[in-house]
Amino acid sequence: MNKAYSIIFVLLNSIFVFIGCSQRPEKNFSDADIFRYNEAAGITSLDPGFAKNQAHIWVCNQLYNSLVQLDDSLNVVPALAESWRVDSTGLRYTFNLREDVYFHANSFFTAKQARLMTAKDVVFSLERLRSNSLAAPGSWTLSNVQKGGIQALDPHTIEIKLEKPFPAFLGLLTMQYCSILSKDAYAHYGKTYFDHAIGTGPFYYKLWVDRVKLVLRKNSDYFEFSNGERLPHLESVAIRFIPDKFSAFLEFVKGDLDFISGIDASYKDEVLDFDGQLREKYQGDIQLLKQNYLNTEYLGFMVDQEKSTYPYNNVHFRRAVNFAFDRDKMIRYLRNGIGTAAEDGMIPNGLPSFEKTGHFSFNTDSVAHYLQLADYNGQGSPTIVLHTNNSYLDLCEYIQFSLREAGINLDIEVHPPSTLRQLISAQKVSFFRASWIADYPDAENYLSLFYSENFAPNGPNYTHFERKEFDQLYQRSYAETNFEKRKAMYRKMNRMVLDQAVVVPLFYDEVYRFSAKGTTGLGGNALNLLSLKNVKKSK
């Protein structure tokens, strides 16, 4: 470490011994007042309109609020809007705003009343998000909103009108893209607004030293309470930027970090056994929380009759591939038990529409049956090629071995991740490894991969699956406001995809979260959102 960085670390560490705050008098901090985690990927912006990866989503979730939010069970619950209603057409959403929400204190505001969040801030923030001049990656969340369809009916009431019904719209509004900013402060600061990052969240921006540390402080005017106590409990959040994940793990073990999300290959076997449990030497100091993660890993077949060839375009052959390997064994020995076998289709475990079917559980008799129907007899039959990237080579080699045992010829081609994505999008490969992580908590997110109007390269239907009945049901689900009826539609569509064996689902992912013993209130949901407002650390 050079001398300049050493000085920076000394200064930053001193912050947590005696730190000044524009919102509260100076006070001494204990270690229990500060929550420390690492962002290996770094953070480049505090603009929620550009919060397109986990690192940015997590920090924006501490700084800002949206109209609505998700709880740990992925239910949409109030945030800045205390209530809402949807009209009978499914097109008009009316939100009643809280009247006790204040933006973070800043020298721009001359009085506390000037910081009050009102409908004008909501209209400004959402219109800014979808403006062409901003070109924000999160603008798609409002693509179904009518032009001029975001209006303030009064200082505490917002109306949003959609072009067409979309039952998952509330879920979209929970995303950090839709965070609410101060219209007046933005007009004052312009491009430097995010040097102050003025939001309404449980923490406010204090200090940022690039590639070293980002410091957030407690918002003493935050509007949410828990058991009669104003949130948040913590005084400060310190985010470090250690690029090497194993080094970050060592910092966690030493007690210099309070939290790690995910399990890297560099320390997977060190900390977990084959069943995905903490090894005994860590059980006294570390808490492990497992939760579903809305990520389905799969292999996809190109099934377009004009682009696909035998045996990729043969449904019996595709079914044989699905039955030909043991997903449970693959997860146990190659992933240390992280994840669950995806025998049930594309909708992952963790969504209400998930249905346990066991449709493609390992079965050698079924493999032989379907290979016979496909007229595929191993020797003399074509060799199929699976395209992947290096990160999943071990899983693909396991599948290669299993398929060869079943008499299916499989070769593997490895590409850089960016090249693989381009090949898949351009329909240049007939069999490929891919994954789909949900943007919002609705099964429509996954079923959109099989809607014919979403054909790649203009949409996410990379397999070019097309069925008239599927498309009709998909369109009907948009207009269905009754969730139980819509769930039944989703499950029927999922079974159609299973029946045609368009994909080979591998596993439904899980998130492993590690925290120091004595840390409570660290909730989480299947989108792996980090919320620190309820966190407490033992003294």
**Between residues 183 and 480, which one has the greater pLDDT?**
183
Contacts of 158 (CB under 8 A, 6+ apart): 67, 81, 94, 95, 97, 119, 122, 123, 150, 151, 152
Beta strand extents in 101-247 (DSSP E only): 145-154, 157-162, 203-209, 213-218, 225-226, 229-230, 236-240
How does DSSP classify residue 227? T
Whether the CB-CB separation of 217 and 23 falls below 8 Å is answered with yes
Q: Of the candidates 19, 35, 40, 37, which has an alpha carbon nearest to the alpha carbon of residue 206?
A: 19
Query: CB-based burial of residue 2 (10 Å sphere; 0-12 exposed, 13-18 middle, 19+ buried)?
Result: exposed
Q: Specify the pLDDT at position 309.
A: 93
Residue 439 has pLDDT above 90, yes or no: no
- CB contact at 8 A, 403 and 435: no
Q: Give 351-383 as a DSSP string.
A: BTT-----TT---HHHHHHHHHHHT--STTSPP
Share the mean pLDDT of the chain. Answer: 91
Question: Packing angle between helix 364-374 and helix 315-323, nearest 10 degrees?
Answer: 160
Question: What percent of the chain has a predicted confidence (pLDDT) above 70?
Answer: 95
- Comparing CA positions, the residue from 150, 60, 1, 45 lying closest to residue 531 is 60
What integer pLDDT is reported at residue 463 of this predicted model? 96
Q: Is 64 exposed, middle or buried (0-12, 13-18, 19+ CB in 10 A)?
A: buried
Q: What is the mean pLDDT of residues 162-174?
A: 94
Taking 60 as the threshold, does the pLDDT of residue 445 lie above it?
Answer: yes
Per-residue confidence (pLDDT) for residue 377, from 0 to 100: 86
* pLDDT per position as a tens digit, 120-131: 999 999 999 999
- The pLDDT tens digits for 201-219 are 999 999 999 889 999 999 9
Q: Domains in the chain and their CATH numbers?
A: 65-198 (3.90.76.10), 293-511 (3.10.105.10)
Condensed to tens digits (0 to 9), the pLDDT of residues 207-262 reads 999 889 999 999 999 999 999 999 999 999 999 999 999 999 999 999 999 999 98
What is d(CA 258, CA 492) in angstroms, rounded to the nearest whole number? Answer: 43
Does residue 442 register a pLDDT over 90?
Answer: yes
Query: Sorting pLDDT into bands at 50, 70 and 90, what band is 27?
Result: low
305 confidence band (pLDDT: 50, 70, 90): confident
Residue whose C-alpha is closest to residue 81's, from 231, 205, 230, 200: 200
pTM (predicted TM-score): 0.86
What backbone torsions phi and psi does residue 157 show, to the nearest 5 degrees? -140, 130
Confidence of residue 523 (pLDDT cuts 50, 70, 90): confident
Fill in the amino acid letter for 188.
H
pLDDT at res. 479: 84
- Residue 446, pLDDT above cutoff 90: yes
Amino acid at 182: S
Dihedral angle at the C-alpha atoms of 468, 472, 478, 484, nearest 10 degrees? -110
For 245, the 3-state DSSP assignment is helix
How high is the pLDDT of residue 17? 38
Percent of all residues in the chain with a pLDDT value above 90, rounded to a whole number: 80
Segment 282-301, tens digit of pLDDT: 998 899 998 999 999 999 99
- Is residue 10 scored above 90 in pLDDT? no
Number of DSSP helices (H) and strands (E) in the chain, helices first: 15, 23
CA dihedral for 119, 120, 126, 130, sign (positive or negative): positive
